[in-house]
A and B are shown apart, each in its own frame.
Chain A
Amino acid sequence: MTRAPELNSPRTGTDVGDTLHPRTAEGKLDEVFSFRELARLDEALTMSSRETGLRFTLYVGELATPTRATAEQLHARSGDHPTDAVLIAVSPGQRVVEVVTGAGAARRLPDRACALAVLSMTSAFANGDLVGGIVNGLRQLSDQAGHPAGLRPH
C-alpha cells in the first residue's frame, strides 16, 4: 500500500497493527507513534465517533500554507458524509492545529467548544505530548457533542 491513497482518505489507527496487518514492505509502521500510542489514538477516535455519532478523523502531518484552507479541503474528503465529520489536523512542524467541523457537526460542536478543546490540545503539545493532547482533545470534543438523538435514553 502506497502512501498517496492514504492521504486521499483516512485509515484506521490499528490498521498498522502487526497482528492485523503484516505490511512489512512499507517500512516502519510505528515510525511516527509507537504501537501503544497508536492504540490509544485508535481507541480515542473510535470511541468518540461511536459515542457521538459524528465521524472524527485525525490528520498528523504537514499542511500546505493557508493551513485553514488545506484543512477544510481535507475535511471535504474525509468521509462519505462530511457534514457530520470532524477533522482534527495537527501539524507539529508548523505548530498548528486545526479543527474543522461540518455543518451538522457544528450544531453540536460550537466553535467555542472547539476552541476550548484546541486550547487544551495546544497546551499539551507545547509540552511535547502529542498523543496525550490529541486524546484529551478528542475526549473534550466528544463530551461536548454528547450522544446523538437516536442513542439518548429519553
Chain B
Amino acid sequence: MTVAETLLVYAGIPLAFVLVLALLTLRPGADRRPRYKPGQPWNHAPVWYEPHPATVGGHGPAPSHGPAAVPGSGTAALGSSMYPEQPGERALDANAGAGPQVALGTQDSHHGGATAARSPQAAGPLGGARGTW
C-alpha cells in the first residue's frame, strides 16, 4: 500500500463517515419552529380548539351537540372543509373586530346568524381554577 492509499483508507474514509453523520444531525430541520420558552412573548393569533363533534358524549347523534353555527345547516362545523364559510358569517368580520378581545360589555347577540347561534348563554355558577407559571 502506498502512502496515498494508506492515507485514503485510514483518514479519508473515517473523515467522510464523520462528515456524513455530522451533516445528518446538524442540518437545519425542515420545519424547526422556535420552541416556546417561558417569559418570551407569544406572537401568534389566538386559536380555539374543540373536540370532534361526532364523538361528543354517548347520547344521540352529533349534530345536536356540535358547533352548529352555520345558519341553515344543522350539521355544519364552522371550520369544516365540507361547509366553507357561509355568507352570514361574513357579518362577523365587521363586528367582531380584533378576535380575542371579547370586550366585557359586548353582550349584544344581534349580529350575524352565526353568532346568534353562539350567543353567550348563562352556564350557572362557574367553577374552575387559575394558575400562573
Contacts and interface: CB of A to CB of B under 8 A. Distances in A.
Interface in B89-117: 89, 92-93, 96-97, 99-104, 114-115, 117
A6 B47 contact: yes
Contacts of B48: 6-7, 9-11, 57-61, 74
A111 B128 contact: yes
A11 B119 contact: no
A102 B123 contact: yes
A96 B131 contact: yes
Contacts of B119: 77
Given A79-B50, A128-B36, A150 B41 contact: no
Given A53-B59, A62-B42, A114 B67 contact: no
B56 interface: yes
Contact of B123 (A45, A46, A85): A85
Interface centre among B36, B80, B103 (most CB of A within 10 A): B36
Interface residues of B, number: 67
16 contacts: A2-B85, A4-B92, A4-B97, A12-B52, A49-B51, A56-B51, A57-B50, A61-B100, A64-B101, A80-B117, A82-B120, A94-B42, A106-B128, A130-B36, A148-B57, A148-B59
Interface of A: 1-15, 20-23, 30-32, 34, 41-42, 45-46, 48-50, 53, 55-64, 66-83, 85, 87, 91-106, 109-111, 114-115, 117-119, 121-123, 125-128, 130, 148, 150-151
